[in-house]
Structure 1
Amino acid sequence: MKKFFVAALLASLSVLSFAEGKIAVVNLQEALFNTDVAQQRREQLETDVDFKKSVDEVKDIQEQGRTLLEKLQKDGQLMAPAERQQIEAKVKGKQADMEHLARKIQEAQQGLMQGLMLEMNDGMQKSIQELIQSEGIGLLLMANPQIVLHADTSFDITAKLTDKLNKQFKPKKK
């Protein structure tokens, strides 16, 4: 076991020695999500009539469901079984409606992000290459908690990438 650990340590050191320069991490989604263009598009989405209607419907359905659940908790034991089943069915219906609307909202948000990714992809790649060169980065990792267990904030270039993207992609005036 000890020999395996030493071999693994030596192997990792040899990989790091090939990475001339610094090691850095970047969260591409966060960098994109924090750009001025993304902020503006999110605001536009949130003011879209259909999107607002869906959000308002979710809030309304949540309130109706909460009211029904309170009624069940308060009066459930006094109700006839048929009445209790009817209210439980209404609660399940409200839950299904809410899940449908939540998916619709999530799809709109994901569509926005995917569109931005496609629109800004070339510029993002260029900005990443510029950061690699200017920062002397020899190894750049995705800031994924399943891959990178820990990275000191001094290794994270996400904010720098956001700044470069903001300079490259200006939001359109309203």
Structure 2
Amino acid sequence: MVCAGFLLATSGALAQTAAPVVGVVNLEQALFNTQAAQELQAAIEVEFSEDQARAETLNTELRELVERAQRDESIMSDAEKRRVSTDAQEKQVQLQMISERVQAALQERNQAFIESMRQNLGTAIETVVREGGYNLVLNADSVAFFDNAYDITGKVTAELNELNQ
């Protein structure tokens, strides 16, 4: 009887304890959905538009060379086949160089952006946690599954936008 009373009292106390408020945030998505990230993306597109145009031209020329080589292979001389093959290889190398240069620059810019936003990201998360009464916030990359109701990424992005104004 005493044990049963203790269990009821204990379970009643547990029932009165508030459930923890949990949130999940995708840090990368929160950062790269900000207005600042969109402005950076637009600037990058303008900056690399010449490289993009050159890559598209090279791709078109390369495709035409391959089509010509396949179509005219039987009537091309060995010297002509070598020239077409050399041209195609040169275009492939140029494409690779453009791609590597652009990828390196993008990676550098993205890393610089992340570093510049690190402090504001921490502040934004703290604000969302405080205002939302969260007891626990998890990184979405570390969670196998979560219901969208726990996702606070949009709130963090909105707070980042406020901080960056």
TM-score w.r.t. length of structure 2: 0.77
Deviation at 1:26, TM superposition (A): 1.7
1:41 corresponds to 2:36: no
Can you list the C-alpha shifts for 1:128-160, whole angstroms capped at 9, x where unaligned? 12222333333333222xx43333222222111
Can you list the C-alpha shifts for 1:20-49, whole angstroms capped at 9, x where unaligned? 72333222222111111111122222223x
Q: 2:94 is paired with a residue of what secondary structure?
A: helix
| TM-aligned CA distance change 1:130 to 1:91, over 3 Å | same
| TM-aligned CA distance change 1:93 to 1:36, over 3 Å | same
Residue aligning to 2:86: 89
| TM-aligned CA distance change 1:148 to 1:76, over 3 Å | farther
Residue aligning to 1:165: 160
- Number of aligned residue pairs: 147
Paired letter, 1:33: F
Q: Would you say the 8 A contact 1:55–1:105 is kept in 2?
A: no
Can you list the C-alpha shifts for 1:37-65, whole angstroms capped at 9, x where unaligned? 111122222223xx222111111111111
Question: Percent identity, aligned pairs only?
Answer: 29
Query: Equivalents in 1 of 2:31, 2:84: separation in Å?
Result: 45
2:63 to 66, 70, 73: 66
| TM-aligned CA distance change 1:82 to 1:23, over 3 Å | farther
Greater Rg, structure 1 or structure 2?
A: 2
Residue aligning to 2:105: 108
Deviation at 1:82, TM superposition (A): 4.0
| TM-aligned CA distance change 1:37 to 1:80, over 3 Å | same
Deviation at 1:85, TM superposition (A): 3.5
| TM-aligned CA distance change 1:82 to 1:151, over 3 Å | farther
Query: Equivalents in 1 of 2:69, 2:105: separation in Å?
Result: 34
TM-score w.r.t. length of structure 1: 0.73
What 5-or-longer segments of structure 1 have no aligned partner? 1-19
Q: CA RMSD in A?
A: 2.1
Query: Equivalents in 1 of 2:29, 2:52: separation in Å?
Result: 24
